[in-house]
Chains A and B, each alone.
Chain A
Amino acid sequence: MAVPISVTRGQGPVLPEPSALPAGSGNRGRAALGRLTTAIRRNRKATAGVILLALFTLIALFPNLIPHYNPAEIFYGPKCPSCYSAPALVQASPSSAHWLGTDLEGHDVFSQVIVGTRAVLVLALVTGLLTTLIAMVVGVAAAYLGGTWDGVLNLVTDVLLVIPLFPLLIVIVKYAGQSGNVVLIAVLTITGWSYTARQLRAQAQSLRNRDFLLAAKVRGERSFYIIMVEMIPTMTSLLLACFLTNALYAVLAGSGLQFLGLGDPNLVSWGTTLYWANSQGALQAGLYLWEIVPGLCIALLGAAFALLNYAFDEISNPALRPMRASAKRKKVPLATPTPTPAGGRLATDDAHAG
């Protein structure tokens, strides 16, 4: 369900050049990483994305850093004289005890959100990783092996791309019977690799005939070595971008399925929390925060992936970068102006010192 944010990458992409360092993919990899971190720091979107992602990862890894209750704990309201037992506390507005209020069964909403972070992140990252792996194998193999293999793999990829995935997911999950996180990951992975496989194949194809690969072949290296050690490290930035696309797809599709009730209803996750909110009528009961916050978190996590993805687009295709104000000036008044670019301007007017 990944939104094709960048068609430019799918069709004739503008590809990042492999580093000009001497052969040895270790060097290339390290240099690429260095350039990457600098680029991230400079690009505002990338920084925002990294910060959001880091925040959520932290919460997922160490939920106990933030005080919260057990999401299954039921809180009770005041006991009325004639009741047998205290009714469940239903609290719409935030209070000091319950920062986001409670749901219709007396569970604390804030705890559900905090504890649910881990499940969502696991879903996103694991699915993203596995899907990217499959996409990489399929894409690179198709490009490298060529011929009938290419044709067959291409066909499978394209068919999977065209078949509407969400209904397929619904149908598969329904037939599968169970519905835990593992099943969800498996199902999303099996169906979601096709879009990024196409992108990876495109790049692998353009790399295939580059000199450094032919040189490796002439040296007598085996295909497997060439693919793993020479090709793949050069594709790191696209692989990273694909991972982000797939993680975004996992978050949205996975939460969507959970929201429809097809996930494990006992699992604490943002999607399932929303499912309970919706099916129990949170809006009618006025428990707005219960509906708002889990969805907002999904949106923020998704936005983190999307921002990083978009920032990568800009980094790898300089034409898309935000333009500096001085570069926009097409006409220059008759008096020679002195534009002040961000980088150092070197003394070209000294050329006439003679």
Chain B
Amino acid sequence: MTRTLADDSQGLARPNPPPGPLLEVRDLSVEYLLERAVIGAVDHVSLDVAAGEFLAIVGESGCGKSTLLFAVAQLLFPPAAITGGTVTFRGRNLVGLTEGEMSAVRWKDMSVVMQSAMNALNPVLTVGAQFRDVMRAHGAVGKQEIAQRSEEVMRMVGIDPVHLKSYPHQLSGGMRQRAMIAMAMLFTPELVIMDEPTSALDVVAQRSLMAQIKDLQQRFGFAVIFVTHDMSLVSHFSDRLMVMYAGQVSEVGPTRRLFDAPKHPYTAGLMDAFPSIRGPRVPLAGIPGSPPDLARPPEGCRFAARCPKVMERCKASDPPAYQVEGVDVRCFLYEAGGPR
């Protein structure tokens, strides 16, 4: 039952997981409880992640994707709080667990990679020390095995293990980011949550990091939830794509299907905003307007004010999610199971 670092080193497959999706989020809501208002950052979001799957979550700034991520990982700080819903990971609801119960799950089964390694790594500890303390926190005591595993994960991401003795500010941006990924791999978790890990890098480094992540995923079989605002980045790497708008899921389904035939008007708008380098020349179209104020969300569909296909109905009531061709889309256009 207890899995040692040696098991991770040997790439030992985990014992059969309980049936059902690896991660099941149902009706999750997160609010920021401020002095003067309550801001609903995440509104009744549901999503599934199967074992080994790469799910990308995209959306504009402020759509709630990072908040959703932290809520799933139970990493919210006050004034943010989960106000409803469940997060079932490996058959167990994480919402409401105490820190003690949660820490058994943390890092061993679910790890996190953050946006800026410069901010996410403790500036006064060496990289190696930060690897050590998470390993010690989860029961590894042998100096030998700790050192061995640390070197292993560093090599996995292509960094010379000598940098374990370096401080974060001594590494380049790309190296820091990869060191964070190495740290996330220490226990070969089943789920790695990544919050815009490539945003702080230049395009070349971004591509190489993505390739690295994908390679690791294929070797070790973990699932990835990858949040980004850059759709083109995940288009080749993700299995499924989820589009968020104003705290809700507008569309979620297999990546290729969303790219080839976006159903939700917002998704279509996003696709149009990213011109294809090989396709025909088309005028660049943006999406006019700006997202609604989440302290005072509108009565009806949240995208209604900016939607080119808006109907009267959309302003009055908020559409539920409809399933069409294997894609969940939150739009009245698909009410009868097909576009009007």
Using a CB–CB cutoff of 8 Å, the interface residues on chain A facing chain B are 321, 323-324, 326-334, 336-337, 339, 341-346, 348, 350-354
Using a CB–CB cutoff of 8 Å, the interface residues on chain B facing chain A are 29, 31, 33-38, 40, 43-44, 76-79, 81-84, 86, 93, 95-98, 295-297, 299-300, 302, 313, 316-320
B305 to chain A, nearest CB (A): 14
Top 9 closest pairs, chain A to chain B, by CB: A354-B317, A343-B36, A336-B84, A327-B79, A348-B40, A327-B78, A351-B318, A354-B318, A327-B33
Report chain B residues within 8 Å CB of A354. 300, 313, 316-320
Q: Supply 8 A–B pairs (Cβ within 8 Å), ascending by A.
A: A327-B79, A331-B98, A334-B95, A341-B37, A345-B37, A351-B299, A352-B318, A354-B317
**In whole angstroms, what is the CA distance A337 to B84 when docked?**
8
Q: Which residue of A lies closest to B314 (CB)?
A: A354
**In whole angstroms, what is the CA distance A321 to B31 when docked?**
20
Docked-complex contact B95 and A332, CB < 8 angstroms:
yes
Docked-complex contact B299 and A353, CB < 8 angstroms:
yes
**In whole angstroms, what is the CA distance A327 to B77 when docked?**
9
Q: Besides A339-B81, A351-B297, A352-B318, 19 other CB < 8 A contacts?
A: A323-B78, A327-B78, A331-B95, A332-B84, A332-B95, A332-B96, A333-B96, A334-B93, A334-B96, A341-B37, A341-B38, A343-B36, A343-B38, A345-B38, A348-B38, A351-B299, A351-B318, A353-B317, A354-B319
**In whole angstroms, what is the CA distance A336 to B319 when docked?**
22
A331 to chain B, nearest CB (A): 5
A339's contact among B83, B95, B297, B320, by CB below 8 Å, is which? B83
Docked-complex contact B33 and A341, CB < 8 angstroms:
yes
Docked-complex contact A331 and B299, CB < 8 angstroms:
no
**In whole angstroms, what is the CA distance A329 to B86 when docked?**
17
Docked-complex contact B97 and A331, CB < 8 angstroms:
yes
B78 to chain A, nearest CB (A): 5
Report chain B residues within 8 Å CB of A323. 78
With known contacts A324-B33, A346-B38, A336–B317 Cβ distance under 8 A: no
Report chain A residues within 8 Å CB of B44. 352
Q: Which residue of B lies closest to A335 (CB)?
A: B84
**In whole angstroms, what is the CA distance A326 to B32 when docked?**
11
